[in-house]
Amino acid sequence: MHNKEVKKETSLIHKGYVSKNHHDSLTIPLYQTSTFAFSSAEEGERRFAGEESGNIYSRLGNPTVSLLEERMMELESGKGALAFGSGMAAVSAVLLHVIKSGDHIMCSRGIYGCTFGLLEMFEEKFNISHSFHAMETEEEIEAAIRPNTACLYIETPINPTMEIVDLSLVIKIAKKHGIKVIVDNTFSSPFLQNPLEMGADYVLHSATKYINGHGDVIAGLLVGNDADDMMKLRMTVQKDVGGIISPFDAWLLIRGLKTLHVRMDRHTQNAGTVLSYLKNEPFVENIYYPFDESHPQYHIAKKQMKAGGGLISFTIRGGKEAAQLFLNSLSLIKIAVSLGDAETLIQHPATMTHSVIPEMEREKMGITHSLLRVSVGLEHPEDLINDLKQAFIKVQDQMPTTNVN
Protein backbone atom coordinates (compact mmCIF):
# COMPACT_ATOMS: atom_id res chain seq x y z
CA MET A 1 0.00 0.00 0.00
CA HIS A 2 1.18 3.55 -0.68
CA ASN A 3 2.66 5.53 2.21
CA LYS A 4 -0.12 8.13 2.46
CA GLU A 5 -2.30 7.52 5.51
CA VAL A 6 -5.63 5.98 4.59
CA LYS A 7 -9.04 6.21 6.25
CA LYS A 8 -10.27 3.60 8.71
CA GLU A 9 -12.75 2.23 6.17
CA THR A 10 -9.80 1.36 3.93
CA SER A 11 -7.74 -0.07 6.79
CA LEU A 12 -10.59 -2.45 7.59
CA ILE A 13 -9.99 -4.08 4.21
CA HIS A 14 -6.23 -3.73 3.61
CA LYS A 15 -4.30 -3.11 6.85
CA GLY A 16 -1.31 -5.34 7.51
CA TYR A 17 -1.69 -7.75 4.59
CA VAL A 18 0.77 -8.15 1.69
CA SER A 19 -0.52 -10.78 -0.73
CA LYS A 20 2.87 -11.44 -2.35
CA ASN A 21 4.05 -12.85 0.97
CA HIS A 22 1.25 -15.43 0.82
CA HIS A 23 1.42 -16.86 -2.73
CA ASP A 24 -0.54 -13.83 -4.04
CA SER A 25 -3.74 -14.94 -2.32
CA LEU A 26 -6.21 -12.05 -2.37
CA THR A 27 -7.98 -13.45 0.69
CA ILE A 28 -5.99 -13.61 3.91
CA PRO A 29 -4.84 -17.22 4.53
CA LEU A 30 -6.12 -19.25 7.47
CA TYR A 31 -3.22 -20.69 9.45
CA GLN A 32 -5.15 -23.53 11.09
CA THR A 33 -2.24 -24.96 13.03
CA SER A 34 -1.53 -25.53 16.69
CA THR A 35 2.26 -25.37 16.49
CA PHE A 36 5.10 -24.19 14.26
CA ALA A 37 8.33 -25.96 13.28
CA PHE A 38 11.76 -24.48 13.99
CA SER A 39 14.58 -24.65 11.46
CA SER A 40 16.97 -25.61 14.26
CA ALA A 41 17.13 -26.26 18.00
CA GLU A 42 18.98 -22.97 18.37
CA GLU A 43 16.18 -21.07 16.64
CA GLY A 44 13.67 -22.62 19.03
CA GLU A 45 15.80 -21.61 21.99
CA ARG A 46 16.08 -18.03 20.75
CA ARG A 47 12.33 -17.70 20.21
CA PHE A 48 11.45 -19.07 23.64
CA ALA A 49 14.02 -16.74 25.17
CA GLY A 50 12.43 -13.76 23.40
CA GLU A 51 15.65 -13.03 21.51
CA GLU A 52 14.09 -13.62 18.09
CA SER A 53 10.63 -12.93 16.74
CA GLY A 54 8.66 -15.71 15.10
CA ASN A 55 5.87 -18.16 15.65
CA ILE A 56 6.06 -20.83 18.35
CA TYR A 57 2.61 -22.13 19.29
CA SER A 58 -0.84 -20.77 18.45
CA ARG A 59 -1.72 -20.08 22.09
CA LEU A 60 1.16 -17.58 22.04
CA GLY A 61 0.56 -16.19 18.57
CA ASN A 62 -0.69 -17.09 15.10
CA PRO A 63 -0.34 -15.19 11.79
CA THR A 64 -4.11 -15.06 11.17
CA VAL A 65 -4.81 -13.93 14.73
CA SER A 66 -1.99 -11.38 14.56
CA LEU A 67 -3.50 -9.70 11.52
CA LEU A 68 -6.87 -9.42 13.27
CA GLU A 69 -5.13 -7.85 16.27
CA GLU A 70 -3.26 -5.40 14.04
CA ARG A 71 -6.48 -4.22 12.40
CA MET A 72 -8.24 -3.82 15.74
CA MET A 73 -5.31 -1.85 17.10
CA GLU A 74 -5.59 0.49 14.12
CA LEU A 75 -9.38 0.83 14.48
CA GLU A 76 -9.23 1.71 18.18
CA SER A 77 -6.08 3.85 17.87
CA GLY A 78 -4.26 1.62 20.33
CA LYS A 79 -0.70 0.42 20.88
CA GLY A 80 -1.47 -3.26 21.30
CA ALA A 81 -4.37 -5.68 20.83
CA LEU A 82 -5.23 -9.20 21.95
CA ALA A 83 -7.88 -11.59 20.62
CA PHE A 84 -9.75 -13.97 22.92
CA GLY A 85 -12.13 -16.92 22.68
CA SER A 86 -15.07 -14.85 24.00
CA GLY A 87 -15.95 -11.38 25.19
CA MET A 88 -15.94 -12.64 28.77
CA ALA A 89 -12.41 -14.03 28.28
CA ALA A 90 -11.33 -10.49 27.36
CA VAL A 91 -13.15 -9.04 30.40
CA SER A 92 -11.61 -11.64 32.71
CA ALA A 93 -8.11 -11.15 31.31
CA VAL A 94 -7.96 -7.38 31.64
CA LEU A 95 -9.44 -7.42 35.15
CA LEU A 96 -7.03 -10.13 36.29
CA HIS A 97 -4.23 -8.04 34.82
CA VAL A 98 -5.01 -4.83 36.72
CA ILE A 99 -6.33 -6.09 40.09
CA LYS A 100 -5.08 -8.09 43.06
CA SER A 101 -6.63 -9.44 46.23
CA GLY A 102 -8.04 -6.65 48.38
CA ASP A 103 -8.60 -4.23 45.50
CA HIS A 104 -11.85 -2.47 44.59
CA ILE A 105 -13.44 -2.17 41.12
CA MET A 106 -15.66 0.86 40.55
CA CYS A 107 -18.30 0.16 37.87
CA SER A 108 -20.85 2.04 35.85
CA ARG A 109 -24.39 1.65 37.16
CA GLY A 110 -25.24 -1.12 34.70
CA ILE A 111 -23.11 -3.93 33.30
CA TYR A 112 -23.62 -7.15 31.36
CA GLY A 113 -25.02 -10.00 33.47
CA CYS A 114 -21.98 -12.28 33.07
CA THR A 115 -19.63 -9.42 33.99
CA PHE A 116 -21.72 -9.02 37.14
CA GLY A 117 -21.34 -12.75 37.82
CA LEU A 118 -17.56 -12.50 37.36
CA LEU A 119 -17.36 -9.60 39.84
CA GLU A 120 -19.38 -11.60 42.37
CA MET A 121 -16.93 -14.48 41.93
CA PHE A 122 -13.96 -12.15 42.45
CA GLU A 123 -15.49 -10.88 45.68
CA GLU A 124 -16.36 -14.33 47.02
CA LYS A 125 -13.10 -16.06 46.14
CA PHE A 126 -10.44 -13.35 46.09
CA ASN A 127 -11.69 -10.50 48.31
CA ILE A 128 -11.93 -8.08 45.38
CA SER A 129 -14.88 -5.75 45.98
CA HIS A 130 -16.96 -3.79 43.49
CA SER A 131 -19.58 -1.04 43.52
CA PHE A 132 -21.95 0.55 41.00
CA HIS A 133 -22.33 4.26 40.33
CA ALA A 134 -24.09 6.57 37.88
CA MET A 135 -20.84 8.56 37.43
CA GLU A 136 -22.83 11.65 36.49
CA THR A 137 -20.86 14.32 38.36
CA GLU A 138 -17.29 14.93 39.42
CA GLU A 139 -18.38 15.06 43.07
CA GLU A 140 -20.10 11.66 42.87
CA ILE A 141 -17.11 10.01 41.21
CA GLU A 142 -14.62 11.51 43.67
CA ALA A 143 -16.73 10.37 46.61
CA ALA A 144 -16.98 6.82 45.25
CA ILE A 145 -13.23 6.32 44.73
CA ARG A 146 -11.68 4.34 47.57
CA PRO A 147 -8.02 4.07 48.62
CA ASN A 148 -7.99 0.53 47.17
CA THR A 149 -9.80 1.35 43.90
CA ALA A 150 -7.70 -0.26 41.17
CA CYS A 151 -9.80 0.46 38.10
CA LEU A 152 -12.96 2.00 36.74
CA TYR A 153 -14.95 -0.43 34.60
CA ILE A 154 -17.44 1.25 32.29
CA GLU A 155 -20.03 0.26 29.75
CA THR A 156 -21.28 3.05 27.53
CA PRO A 157 -23.90 2.81 26.20
CA ILE A 158 -24.85 0.63 29.16
CA ASN A 159 -26.41 -2.77 28.45
CA PRO A 160 -29.44 -2.75 28.24
CA THR A 161 -30.63 0.62 29.58
CA MET A 162 -28.62 2.63 27.01
CA GLU A 163 -27.43 5.07 29.67
CA ILE A 164 -24.37 7.07 28.61
CA VAL A 165 -21.30 7.64 30.77
CA ASP A 166 -19.31 10.82 30.11
CA LEU A 167 -15.93 9.29 29.26
CA SER A 168 -14.04 12.58 29.26
CA LEU A 169 -15.21 13.33 32.80
CA VAL A 170 -14.47 9.85 34.16
CA ILE A 171 -11.06 9.60 32.50
CA LYS A 172 -9.99 13.03 33.76
CA ILE A 173 -10.74 12.07 37.36
CA ALA A 174 -9.23 8.59 37.03
CA LYS A 175 -5.98 10.02 35.69
CA LYS A 176 -5.77 12.39 38.65
CA HIS A 177 -5.89 9.39 40.98
CA GLY A 178 -3.70 7.09 38.85
CA ILE A 179 -6.56 4.63 38.32
CA LYS A 180 -6.90 2.52 35.17
CA VAL A 181 -10.01 2.96 33.00
CA ILE A 182 -11.50 -0.01 31.14
CA VAL A 183 -14.32 0.61 28.66
CA ASP A 184 -16.59 -2.05 27.19
CA ASN A 185 -17.21 -0.58 23.73
CA THR A 186 -19.30 -3.46 22.37
CA PHE A 187 -22.53 -1.52 21.82
CA SER A 188 -20.86 1.22 19.75
CA SER A 189 -18.21 -0.73 17.84
CA PRO A 190 -14.89 0.97 17.06
CA PHE A 191 -16.54 2.63 14.07
CA LEU A 192 -18.80 4.79 16.25
CA GLN A 193 -16.74 5.38 19.42
CA ASN A 194 -13.03 5.26 20.32
CA PRO A 195 -12.44 5.50 24.10
CA LEU A 196 -8.64 5.19 23.80
CA GLU A 197 -8.59 8.45 21.84
CA MET A 198 -10.27 10.05 24.88
CA GLY A 199 -7.59 8.71 27.23
CA ALA A 200 -8.95 5.34 28.41
CA ASP A 201 -6.36 2.66 29.18
CA TYR A 202 -8.19 -0.33 27.73
CA VAL A 203 -11.14 -0.87 25.42
CA LEU A 204 -12.78 -4.25 24.95
CA HIS A 205 -15.39 -5.81 22.68
CA SER A 206 -17.50 -8.88 22.56
CA ALA A 207 -16.39 -9.45 18.97
CA THR A 208 -19.30 -11.86 18.68
CA LYS A 209 -21.42 -8.79 18.03
CA TYR A 210 -20.72 -5.97 15.55
CA ILE A 211 -17.10 -6.90 14.81
CA ASN A 212 -18.20 -10.24 13.39
CA GLY A 213 -21.68 -9.21 12.30
CA HIS A 214 -22.82 -12.60 11.03
CA GLY A 215 -23.81 -14.49 14.18
CA ASP A 216 -21.37 -17.37 13.66
CA VAL A 217 -18.45 -16.59 15.99
CA ILE A 218 -17.90 -16.30 19.75
CA ALA A 219 -14.90 -14.05 20.39
CA GLY A 220 -13.50 -11.11 22.33
CA LEU A 221 -10.99 -8.35 21.65
CA LEU A 222 -8.96 -6.11 23.95
CA VAL A 223 -7.00 -3.03 22.84
CA GLY A 224 -4.67 -1.03 25.09
CA ASN A 225 -2.81 2.26 24.94
CA ASP A 226 0.57 0.88 26.11
CA ALA A 227 2.46 -1.60 23.91
CA ASP A 228 4.70 -2.98 26.69
CA ASP A 229 1.74 -3.41 29.02
CA MET A 230 -0.23 -5.31 26.38
CA MET A 231 2.75 -7.57 25.68
CA LYS A 232 3.00 -8.30 29.39
CA LEU A 233 -0.70 -9.18 29.43
CA ARG A 234 -0.18 -11.46 26.42
CA MET A 235 2.72 -13.32 28.04
CA THR A 236 1.11 -13.67 31.47
CA VAL A 237 -2.68 -13.73 31.83
CA GLN A 238 -3.54 -14.67 28.25
CA LYS A 239 -0.77 -17.26 27.97
CA ASP A 240 -1.34 -18.87 31.36
CA VAL A 241 -5.13 -18.66 31.67
CA GLY A 242 -5.42 -19.54 28.00
CA GLY A 243 -8.65 -17.91 26.82
CA ILE A 244 -7.36 -17.61 23.27
CA ILE A 245 -9.21 -17.38 19.97
CA SER A 246 -8.97 -20.08 17.30
CA PRO A 247 -7.35 -19.14 13.97
CA PHE A 248 -10.57 -19.94 12.12
CA ASP A 249 -12.64 -17.62 14.32
CA ALA A 250 -10.01 -14.90 13.83
CA TRP A 251 -10.29 -15.42 10.07
CA LEU A 252 -14.07 -15.01 10.27
CA LEU A 253 -13.66 -11.78 12.27
CA ILE A 254 -11.26 -10.40 9.66
CA ARG A 255 -13.94 -11.13 7.07
CA GLY A 256 -16.55 -9.37 9.22
CA LEU A 257 -14.37 -6.30 9.75
CA LYS A 258 -14.26 -5.64 6.00
CA THR A 259 -17.93 -4.63 6.05
CA LEU A 260 -18.13 -3.10 9.54
CA HIS A 261 -18.48 0.49 8.32
CA VAL A 262 -21.16 -0.41 5.77
CA ARG A 263 -23.09 -2.48 8.30
CA MET A 264 -22.92 0.14 11.05
CA ASP A 265 -24.31 2.77 8.69
CA ARG A 266 -27.26 0.49 7.85
CA HIS A 267 -27.81 -0.60 11.48
CA THR A 268 -27.94 3.04 12.53
CA GLN A 269 -30.20 4.06 9.66
CA ASN A 270 -32.65 1.23 10.38
CA ALA A 271 -32.59 1.95 14.10
CA GLY A 272 -33.59 5.55 13.40
CA THR A 273 -36.59 4.39 11.36
CA VAL A 274 -37.69 1.88 14.02
CA LEU A 275 -37.21 4.52 16.71
CA SER A 276 -39.55 6.92 14.89
CA TYR A 277 -42.20 4.21 14.77
CA LEU A 278 -41.85 3.21 18.44
CA LYS A 279 -42.16 6.82 19.58
CA ASN A 280 -45.71 6.84 18.18
CA GLU A 281 -46.76 3.39 19.39
CA PRO A 282 -49.30 3.69 22.29
CA PHE A 283 -48.17 0.43 23.94
CA VAL A 284 -44.60 1.78 24.35
CA GLU A 285 -44.01 3.70 27.58
CA ASN A 286 -40.34 4.73 27.44
CA ILE A 287 -37.66 4.55 24.75
CA TYR A 288 -33.90 4.57 25.30
CA TYR A 289 -31.64 5.40 22.35
CA PRO A 290 -28.45 7.51 22.59
CA PHE A 291 -29.20 9.84 19.67
CA ASP A 292 -32.84 10.40 20.60
CA GLU A 293 -33.09 14.06 21.61
CA SER A 294 -35.23 13.07 24.61
CA HIS A 295 -32.45 10.83 25.99
CA PRO A 296 -31.19 12.38 29.27
CA GLN A 297 -27.54 12.06 28.16
CA TYR A 298 -28.15 12.98 24.52
CA HIS A 299 -25.58 15.79 24.59
CA ILE A 300 -22.93 13.42 26.00
CA ALA A 301 -23.69 10.78 23.37
CA LYS A 302 -23.35 13.40 20.60
CA LYS A 303 -20.01 14.45 22.06
CA GLN A 304 -18.37 11.02 22.17
CA MET A 305 -20.22 8.88 19.59
CA LYS A 306 -20.34 9.33 15.82
CA ALA A 307 -23.89 7.90 15.63
CA GLY A 308 -26.45 6.21 17.86
CA GLY A 309 -25.86 2.63 16.69
CA GLY A 310 -28.30 -0.23 16.24
CA LEU A 311 -29.56 -0.91 19.80
CA ILE A 312 -32.87 0.38 21.12
CA SER A 313 -34.40 -0.45 24.50
CA PHE A 314 -38.00 0.32 25.38
CA THR A 315 -40.59 -0.48 28.02
CA ILE A 316 -44.01 -1.88 27.19
CA ARG A 317 -47.28 -1.39 29.07
CA GLY A 318 -48.54 -4.45 30.94
CA GLY A 319 -45.32 -5.65 32.57
CA LYS A 320 -43.79 -9.08 32.13
CA GLU A 321 -46.97 -10.73 30.81
CA ALA A 322 -47.38 -8.19 28.03
CA ALA A 323 -43.66 -8.18 27.25
CA GLN A 324 -43.54 -11.96 26.79
CA LEU A 325 -46.79 -11.99 24.80
CA PHE A 326 -45.32 -9.32 22.52
CA LEU A 327 -42.13 -11.35 21.98
CA ASN A 328 -44.12 -14.49 21.25
CA SER A 329 -46.21 -12.59 18.69
CA LEU A 330 -43.25 -11.53 16.55
CA SER A 331 -42.54 -13.41 13.34
CA LEU A 332 -39.70 -11.85 11.35
CA ILE A 333 -37.86 -10.50 14.40
CA LYS A 334 -36.21 -13.33 16.33
CA ILE A 335 -36.25 -13.81 20.09
CA ALA A 336 -32.55 -14.22 20.79
CA VAL A 337 -29.80 -12.77 22.93
CA SER A 338 -26.71 -11.21 21.33
CA LEU A 339 -26.68 -8.25 18.95
CA GLY A 340 -25.01 -6.87 15.87
CA ASP A 341 -26.18 -9.63 13.52
CA ALA A 342 -27.73 -9.09 10.11
CA GLU A 343 -30.97 -10.40 11.63
CA THR A 344 -33.00 -8.20 13.98
CA LEU A 345 -32.99 -9.74 17.47
CA ILE A 346 -35.07 -8.94 20.53
CA GLN A 347 -34.79 -10.15 24.11
CA HIS A 348 -36.14 -9.65 27.65
CA PRO A 349 -33.09 -8.69 29.77
CA ALA A 350 -34.69 -9.29 33.19
CA THR A 351 -35.23 -12.99 32.43
CA MET A 352 -32.43 -13.50 29.90
CA THR A 353 -29.08 -11.65 29.68
CA HIS A 354 -29.35 -10.04 33.14
CA SER A 355 -31.28 -12.73 35.00
CA VAL A 356 -28.18 -13.60 37.07
CA ILE A 357 -28.36 -10.16 38.72
CA PRO A 358 -30.54 -10.11 41.87
CA GLU A 359 -33.89 -8.43 41.27
CA MET A 360 -33.23 -5.57 43.69
CA GLU A 361 -29.93 -4.77 41.94
CA ARG A 362 -31.61 -5.06 38.52
CA GLU A 363 -34.27 -2.57 39.57
CA LYS A 364 -31.56 -0.10 40.64
CA MET A 365 -30.00 -0.49 37.19
CA GLY A 366 -33.36 0.23 35.56
CA ILE A 367 -33.83 -3.31 34.25
CA THR A 368 -37.54 -3.92 34.87
CA HIS A 369 -39.81 -6.70 33.61
CA SER A 370 -41.28 -4.18 31.17
CA LEU A 371 -37.94 -3.57 29.46
CA LEU A 372 -37.12 -5.05 26.05
CA ARG A 373 -33.91 -4.67 24.03
CA VAL A 374 -33.92 -4.84 20.25
CA SER A 375 -30.83 -5.13 18.06
CA VAL A 376 -31.96 -3.65 14.76
CA GLY A 377 -30.58 -5.65 11.85
CA LEU A 378 -30.05 -5.09 8.15
CA GLU A 379 -33.50 -6.01 6.81
CA HIS A 380 -35.73 -3.48 5.05
CA PRO A 381 -37.06 -1.26 7.87
CA GLU A 382 -40.64 -1.40 6.53
CA ASP A 383 -40.70 -5.15 7.12
CA LEU A 384 -39.46 -4.69 10.68
CA ILE A 385 -42.11 -2.09 11.44
CA ASN A 386 -44.85 -4.28 9.99
CA ASP A 387 -43.76 -7.13 12.27
CA LEU A 388 -43.73 -4.85 15.32
CA LYS A 389 -47.17 -3.49 14.43
CA GLN A 390 -48.82 -6.89 14.13
CA ALA A 391 -47.28 -8.00 17.44
CA PHE A 392 -48.62 -4.92 19.23
CA ILE A 393 -52.08 -5.59 17.74
CA LYS A 394 -52.00 -9.14 19.16
CA VAL A 395 -51.07 -7.77 22.60
CA GLN A 396 -53.95 -5.31 22.39
CA ASP A 397 -56.37 -8.07 21.38
CA GLN A 398 -55.31 -10.45 24.15
CA MET A 399 -54.78 -7.87 26.90
CA PRO A 400 -57.61 -5.41 26.28
CA THR A 401 -57.55 -4.16 29.88
CA THR A 402 -54.04 -2.76 29.47
CA ASN A 403 -54.33 1.01 29.45
CA VAL A 404 -52.89 2.54 26.28
CA ASN A 405 -54.51 5.95 26.59
Catalytic residue (one of 103, 166, 184, 341): 184
**112 among known catalytic residues:** yes
Task: Give the tens place of pLDDT for each residue, 145-194.
Answer: 999 999 999 999 999 999 999 999 999 999 999 999 999 999 999 999 99
Catalytic residue (one of 17, 31, 112, 289): 112
How far, rounded to the nearest angstrom, does the alpha carbon of residue 275 sit from its chain's CA centroid?
Answer: 22
The per-residue pLDDT of the chain, averaged, comes to 94
Task: Give the tens place of pLDDT for each residue, 201-240.
Answer: 999 999 999 999 999 999 999 999 999 999 999 999 999 9
For the chain, list the domains and their CATH numbers.
Answer: 8-257 (3.40.640.10), 261-398 (3.90.1150.10)
**209 among known catalytic residues:** yes
**184 among known catalytic residues:** yes
pLDDT grade for 389, boundaries at 50, 70 and 90: very high
pLDDT at 1 over 50: no
**226 among known catalytic residues:** no
Mean pLDDT, residues 323-341:
97
pLDDT at 403 over 70: no
Quote the pTM value.
0.94
Q: Are 205 and 190 in contact (CB under 8 A)?
A: yes
Task: Give the tens place of pLDDT for each residue, 51-101.
Answer: 999 999 999 999 999 999 999 999 999 999 999 999 999 999 999 999 999
Catalytic residue (one of 15, 180, 209, 234): 209
